[in-house]
Every structure is written in C-alpha cells, then in structure tokens.
Structure 1
Amino acid sequence: MDVLSALSAGAGPSATPSNQSLGQQDFMRLLIAQFQAQNPLEPLGNTEFIGQLAQFSVVSGVQQLDSSFKGFAQQLTGDQVLQGASLLGKPVQRVSDQIGFDGQHAPVMTLDVPPGAARVEVDVLNANGVRVAQRVQDNPAAGEFTLAWDGLLADGSRATPGRYGVQARAVAGASSAALTVRTEATVTGIAPSAQGLQLHARDDRGGQHRARRHRAFAGADGRDRP
C-alpha cells in the first residue's frame, strides 16, 4: 500500500477521526516505509512523490480549514450570547400585531408614517377580530409616530385586561397603506439556536413574545430599539 492508498483508507467511511485518521507523523512514517520497501529497480518517481505530497497537503489544508471554521462558528455563537445577555432586562421594540392591556396602563405603539399621509388610523381588535376601538390622528408628520391606547372601547366602556389585536394604516384621499406596528417589551431571556439568537421578551402588560435574531440599539431617549 502506498501513501495515497493509506490516506484514502484513513479517510474512508469506516474511519474514525480518533484512531484511524492520518496526521503528519503518520504520513512521514508511511512515506519512509514506502521508500524502504520500494523495488530498487523501479524506485518511486519524482512525479509520484510530488503527487503524494500535494495530496497530503490538500487533505491537511482541508482539515485545518474545517477546524478554523468550527472555531469561528463557536466564537460567533459566543459573541451572540454575550450580545444577547447585555440586553437582559432592557426595553426593546418589536414588530407585533398585538398589544397587551392590564386594565390600568395605556399600551404604547410606534408607527413609521410615510410622507403625504392625511391621517393615521389604528384599529384595536378583540379575540374574534372585531374592531372594538379606533384611534385616528389627522395630519401626522412623516416619520416615527407614537400613540397610546387608553383602554376605552368604542361604546365608552373600559376594556377588560388581556391581549388585543392591532391594525394600522396611513390614509391619503381614497388610498390607504398598511403600517407596521411596533410595541415595547422587556427582554427576559436568550436562547441560541440553529436559526440564530432568540430573545424572549415580556411586554409591559404581561404578554410573552419570542423573536429570532432580535436586534436592538439605544435611541436618543436611551431606550433600545430594533
């Protein structure tokens, strides 16, 4: 068996990295043994010798590259966990189609209003998807717009504590466009996963939320936003 055959055997399906893979010392021992056992009348040619060295270099390079990638992946995961840990207990904003109402505090919603909008309409929906309240803002300025729902229903009564759906839109004449709603929450836990870092958050009114690869940054008011 020449060195190339030994390398192939070591890299076969039945090989286990712990006791059958070939390292540099194994390669050199096999190469010396091959020189000692070669036919003096037909010695190993330069081309074959160089080919064996080249193939071993490729195999060794691939192994080192694989090890480097594994180390990089572990470091990246560690950095993500550290970054997520720094968010624990901090307020963040998250995209959501629901708000929580505890019966006392007004949940806050943030929208991005496009230029030219004549008004902004926000519908509050019950568990059956029926509108139970609406907030309207005429002539809103373009950009970030924040509003709060005081918990009052359309009939003037007060909403019971719980989760409510929200839908927002910008209206200009006969046209309207749906707007993304962001609500505030507090990060309560982190969990690395194959898809990325997951943050577990609880909104100020008790609702749970899990966001994959949640990203936050501090705004001018000192609060963290995605």
Structure 2
Amino acid sequence: MAKIDPSLYLNNQATRTPSPDLGKDEFLKILMTQLQNQDPTNPMDDREFISQMAQFSSLEQMMNMTNSIDTLVQSQLVSPVIKYSHMIGKQISYQAYDEETGEKLDIETGKVVAVSQQDGWAILELDNGEKIYADAALEVRDPTDSESNNNQGDEANE
C-alpha cells in the first residue's frame, strides 16, 4: 500500500497572513491582471479605466497628505517651545533662589514674554528679566482674570 508523505498535509504548509492595506503596487497588479484577462470582444470602457486611475491618484495624494500631517504633528509634539508657547502672556509664580548660596527666597511672579529651548528643556523668559525652566512654575494665571478679580474687590470696598 502507498504511504502518504506527511509534509504534504495542509497543516504543515506555511501560512500567509493577508494585509488589510491595498497600496499602489497591489492596485497596479490588479489593474494589469484585469487588462490581461479582459474579453477582447468587450474591452474595458475607456471612461471606466480613466475613472479608476483618477480615483487611485486621488487616494494616493490623500495618503501622502495624511503622512505629511502626521509627521508635522509628531514634530510639533516633540518641541518644548511649541509645547509651552501657550504660556506667553500668562502670569506665573515661581520659587526664587539666591544664585550664590542656592538658598530659597520668596515666591515671585512674572509675566511670560518668550519661550526658548536649552538642552531640550523649555525656558520661560519673564518680563522681570528672569529665565526659569517651565517645570519650575508653581502657578499659572491669566493676567486679565486677576485684574478683573482685583477690580471686583475694589468695587466691593467702595
């Protein structure tokens, strides 16, 4: 009796996992196969072919634009200047230190006038001439909110 070779069993065959993505190369392969196997007595309509090519071109442009936007967003998320730029014009409080002794001084306030970067860290430049690391800010306020609160307090005292 003939023996069956176990290497021919289906469960011993290498499996291929299909990709859900259809790229340019796959589209062109399908198109070429379609052209090669079309009925010579009833060829593909020119308008249908042009329409498919236009759709493919549009799809490719949208995919390229999506990749460009993703790259732009990722580069902006990494930059500390972009990350902290919303703080320009805000009033911040921070712990002041004596530069010579390193001793803690009073908590000071200042208005952020610029944001810069040094060694990958965001530096807040204040209207009083100080430069502090962004993570050293203890409190952030909108100066217009504190002015309106002060005016309301003045009106209540009158």
TM-score normalized by the length of structure 1? 0.34
- Indicate the structure with greater helix content: 2
Flag the structure with more relative contact order, 1 or 2, with Cα contacts below 8 A and sequence separation at least 6. Answer: 1
TM-score normalized by the length of structure 2? 0.46
